[in-house]
Structure 1
Amino acid sequence: MVYDYVIVGGGSAGCVLAARLSEDPSVTVCLIEAGGGGNDIFIRAPALIPAMISGRPRINNYAYHTVPQPGLNGRRGFQPRGRGLGGSSAINAMLYVRGHPRDYDEWAELGAEGWAWDDVRPWFLRVEGNARGGDAWHGGDGPLQVSEQSAPRRISRAFVDACAEVQIPRNDDFNGPEQAGAGLYQVKQFRDGPQKGERCSAAAAYLFPALARPNLTVLTRTRAERLLVEGNRAVGVQVRRRGRRRRIDARSEVILSGGAFNSPHLLLLSGIGPEDELAAHGIAPVHVLPGVGQNLQDHLNYTIIHRSLRRDVVGLNPRGLARLGRAAGTWRKTGEGLFATPYAEAGAFVPSAPGLDRPDLQLHFVIGIEDDHMRRLHLADGYSCHVCGLRPKSRGSVGLTSRNPADPPRIDPAFLNHPDDLDTLMRGARIVERVLGAQALAPWRGARLYPHDGSDAALQADIRAHADSIYHPVGTCRMGTDDMAVVDPQLRVRGMAGLRVVDASVMPRVIGGNTGAPAMMIGERAAAMIAQARKG
């Protein structure tokens, strides 16, 4: 099988790439995805997110784990990643967040020339079909439907009021001129038509409408095992499909879109990466590239949970499940109501200290008890507030656990390796405590799930005992121009021909917010770069 472009990974960026590149009928495109079709009821129905995110069982989820983290009392962190068309956009909370404009200016300052805010903003607008219409800050007719929530809970609005009580101002648009403040999140969700109320994943927005094109081939349940390289050029991919090894050749380019874990993993399996990492697993070096798998960054998250005195939240008890069951019927008929919830309905961006040039904390307010990625279940009604540090100084890595492609990558985020990250998270936790103690939330406020004596030492211990990822890993195939950069600003793998990486792994630094929308922007921008390169 021979195609012009072979894309490995059907996630947020890969779906965008496959759809945009195949708009040209003169080229052939093959998209390879290890998971399934990305259109089952668990993905389409927003309220079924918990069934996927826990990884128990593994529904549309790689359910990776980290190596033991010294900063988290030696615990192994949990890393849910989407497995199937749409990638993590098929299993996340659907929140549409772009980050702060200064984040992208920093990318350019770090060597990612052409990726400053003024450069990337047009590509965000191209992605976005916002219910509010198009303007200088939003796209109105892009493929990705960005919508208001149909029926946010009263407690979510009370959270925004509680933030105002502690001097966090209201902000109705986190993607507008000002990021700071508290409000309800916009969501990536269909707002009309037969799909109303369903998740609008990258696959649903971009790929599914393109599947009828004769020049686009999508291979699901197909695992890429290694890249095929001749000289210094990538010429294809070896895959395993239906128990058999096959070769898929690329006339023009192979493009890796597996994300911050799977893209460096495939490069390493193919002999592209740091010499010592390859040698440790008996892999002959094809191209020594020391930055592959380095520079891993993720947002470490700490959650404060309360039981609720009111029942108008989501509880895993007979009353709550019955309410959710009734809501499923409403959702099937109208696309609205509780079953359309992202759970993390409200949130805030706040600075941890005065004088910062932008918020360095993000809050996600969840209308139920979310403990240990839904792997520790509670029957009580309750609510949760997450806080994460947006600009971690800790740097981790991704490597190999073995040379077997079926084995998961070795993931080490090095959480709290830098002491400043713990200080920031502690300041964030104190802000959350003040918000959750405000009068606006008094009608709901029950006992705290994991109480402690309130001292700094006790808070630090609780963070080390409970904090974990909020699912924003980036940076492991960093773009730039220095010796540790993996790709150049055109996303071409340095020192190789016919090979690019297009996903969140190319980010030089994690942005200040959720990473799904930026990954789609990267896909849009890369598709245009590739099309331009083809024209010569």
Structure 2
Amino acid sequence: MADVLPLSADYVVVGAGSAGCAVAARLSEDPGVRVVLLEAGGRDRNPWLHVPIGYAKTMYHPTLSWNLMTEPEPNLDGRRVPWPRGRTLGGSSAINGLLYLRGQPADYDHWRQLGCTGWSFEDVLPFFKRSEDQERGPSELHGTGGPLAVSDMRDRNPLAESFIAAAAELGFPHNPDFNGATQEGAGLYQTTSRNGWRCSAATAYLKPARSRPNLVVVTDAHSTGLLLEGRRAAGVKLVRHGAALTIRAEREVILCGGAIASPQLLMLSGIGPAEHLRSLSIEVVHELPQVGRNLQDHFQARLAYRVNQRASMNTRSRSWWGKALMGAEFALRRTGPLTVSAGTAGLFARVLPGSETPDVQYHFLPFSTGTTMLELHPFPGMTISACQLRPESRGTITLASADPQAKALIHANYLATETDRRCMIEGVKLGRRLAQAAAMARWVEEEISPGAAAASDDEILAWIRCTGGTIYHPSGTCRMGGDAESVVDPELRVRGIEGLRVADASIMPTVVSGNTNAPAIMIGEKCAEMVKASARVRLAA
């Protein structure tokens, strides 16, 4: 797995994120093929990339994150919303909140109804199980022995337990497994961690494969475009240490850059909406109007409370002594606050009339912060985040210029529909009822945000517009479908271009009802299997 760029490979995978690591590792299981994985970021050597709570240190890191921003959002008072994305081995799985969620079976059955043959829940479940090393053991819905460690929460905070009890008071069932038979209810999340350490896609897939001579992982390699020969992807252009380089792909190029970088690279290569490309003087190689369209993201609003419970991480982190104790607990037992993910307890609930499955997800955190995760409040606090699961709003990714180094323009278009606005308002109101239930009210001293000023629905919506933001799940911009207008077909092949596939969250026709890391890894697993099947067909011919 030497970090030296060869002249060619059978498969060139662009992006060492959740899906890319899975694709590269699975393809390199065949010693007869050569696989090169290109990553714009560096190696995952920073220690905070491996400690679960490290996302608070890395999410906005100057080199470990792309630190993207949306354009001014028309429905959020013109605010630009930060969009951190991972820029290191493991991609966003190295800086995310570690939650292991697949979404609802109905999400994938809906994909199948949209023409994505082979993507029903029955079809994708084997790939979820193949990827998984479930701490609780194998079952009909879970697997063991896979690369991705899935573990129970190691920090049993009393505030989180009270959140689950509050949900029960409001009539929600206890749910010990959000990836089980049903998603609805309250319980503790499971995380992508092993023995208290983060298990990113790089840890899960690349680390075990590092001794394979047929897998080359090249870091600090910023892909700038596709090498196209007619309507065939023959390789990838990149810049590394200031030098412009090219690597040829003898069989296929597989884009795994995510919902921003994958459509960006297609458009830079002349594949996308013709009018937009011509406006930037980019030669149109193949018109695909839907590239960069269909952008979806989960939107959240975070309720913050002052509490009288010393179990709040705010209290424990205020002194050097408290930090030392937390560090010692992690060092000696791999437990405590340093193992906390971006949500310890959760609730999946229905807040809109007519919703047959949960439409809102709650992340409970035993700490509270300002607008970002960078600084805790100076008083004991907790957070209840309400997140809409199936937004109707659609945005776009477009190019700022033909310069590959320029960041893409992100138009998330949050809260563009009445359904989305109503769902968020009702989600906030349910979050407040949870905080007011007896199990939680005994700890709560004051609602800090939004506070008493947000009483009516209009006032709540105004607060949501002023403070709400991403929960870091962009998807949909290289939409998969059975129709001619989709960007990729159900085999993830880019329509009209030979030797090119996309495998990441950008191919989702609709965003799944939950966190997107596990589904992205599943997409990588399934893509690798389809690529292998295509190779077998070629050999047989």
Report the CA distance between 1:442 and its aligned residue: 2.5
Name the residue aligned to 1:46: 52
Q: Is 1:517 equivalent to 2:518 in the alignment?
A: yes
Whole-angstrom CA distance in 2 between matches of 1:321 and 1:46: 20
Unpaired segments ≥5 residues, structure 2: 1-6
Taking the TM superposition and a 5 Å limit, the aligned residue runs for 1:317-332 are: 319=318, 322-332=321-331
Name the residue aligned to 1:193: none
Q: Is 1:162 equivalent to 2:163 in the alignment?
A: no
CA contact (8 A) 1:64 1:408 kept: yes
Name the residue aligned to 2:532: 531
Aligned pair partner of 1:34 in 22, 29, 40:
40
Secondary structure, aligned partner of 1:315: helix
Whole-angstrom CA distance in 1 between matches of 2:92 and 2:378: 28
Aligned pair partner of 1:150 in 154, 176, 194:
154
Q: Match for 2:526: what amino acid?
A: R
Secondary structure, aligned partner of 1:446: strand
Once the two structures are superposed, residues 229-280 of structure 1 have per-residue CA deviations (whole angstroms, 9 ceiling, x without a partner) of 0010000111111111111110000100000000001111111100011012
Calculate the TM-score normalised by the size of structure 2.
Answer: 0.96
Number of residue pairs aligned between Structure 1 and Structure 2: 529
Q: Match for 1:285: what amino acid?
A: V
Aligned pair partner of 2:142 in 113, 116, 138:
138
Secondary structure, aligned partner of 1:408: coil
Q: Against the structure 1 CA distance between its residues 378 and 338, is the aligned structure 2 distance closer, same or farther, given a 3 Å change threshold?
A: closer
Percent of aligned pairs sharing the same letter: 44
Whole-angstrom CA distance in 2 between matches of 1:375 and 1:486: 37
Secondary structure, aligned partner of 1:254: strand
Secondary structure, aligned partner of 2:186: strand
Report the CA distance between 1:375 and its aligned residue: 4.8
Name the residue aligned to 1:201: 200
Q: Is 1:296 equivalent to 2:325 in the alignment?
A: no
Whole-angstrom CA distance in 2 between matches of 1:65 and 1:377: 22
Whole-angstrom CA distance in 2 between matches of 1:20 and 1:372: 39
Secondary structure, aligned partner of 1:31: strand
Name the residue aligned to 2:458: 457
Q: Match for 1:145: what amino acid?
A: A
Once the two structures are superposed, residues 382-413 of structure 1 have per-residue CA deviations (whole angstroms, 9 ceiling, x without a partner) of 11111111111111000101111111111111
Once structures 1 and 2 are overlaid, which stretch shifts more, 320-329 or 346-355?
Answer: 320-329
Once structures 1 and 2 are overlaid, which stretch shifts more, 471-480 or 323-332?
Answer: 323-332
Whole-angstrom CA distance in 2 between matches of 1:290 and 1:84: 31
Q: Match for 2:350: what amino acid?
A: P
Aligned pair partner of 2:104 in 84, 100, 103:
100
Q: Is 1:24 equivalent to 2:30 in the alignment?
A: yes
Taking the TM superposition and a 5 Å limit, the aligned residue runs for 1:73-222 are: 73-190=77-194, 196-222=195-221
Once structures 1 and 2 are overlaid, which stretch shifts more, 504-513 or 340-349?
Answer: 340-349
Once structures 1 and 2 are overlaid, which stretch shifts more, 278-287 or 33-42?
Answer: 33-42
Report the CA distance between 1:317 and its aligned residue: 7.6
Q: Match for 1:277: what amino acid?
A: H
Name the residue aligned to 1:475: 476
CA contact (8 A) 1:129 1:140 kept: yes
Q: Match for 2:41: what amino acid?
A: G
Q: Against the structure 1 CA distance between its residues 277 and 320, is the aligned structure 2 distance closer, same or farther, given a 3 Å change threshold?
A: farther
Once the two structures are superposed, residues 337-367 of structure 1 have per-residue CA deviations (whole angstroms, 9 ceiling, x without a partner) of 2211114101110011354221011000011
Taking the TM superposition and a 5 Å limit, the aligned residue runs for 1:266-305 are: 266-305=265-304
Report the CA distance between 1:318 and its aligned residue: 6.0
Report the CA distance between 1:78 and its aligned residue: 1.2
CA contact (8 A) 1:314 1:320 kept: no
Secondary structure, aligned partner of 2:403: coil
Whole-angstrom CA distance in 2 between matches of 1:265 and 1:176: 36
Whole-angstrom CA distance in 2 between matches of 1:95 and 1:62: 21
Q: Match for 1:370: what amino acid?
A: T
Q: Against the structure 1 CA distance between its residues 14 and 316, is the aligned structure 2 distance closer, same or farther, given a 3 Å change threshold?
A: farther
- Please identify runs of 4+ aligned residues in structure 1 that moved more than 3 A: 316-322
Report the CA distance between 1:28 and its aligned residue: 0.2
Whole-angstrom CA distance in 2 between matches of 1:207 and 1:154: 36
Unpaired segments ≥5 residues, structure 1: 191-195
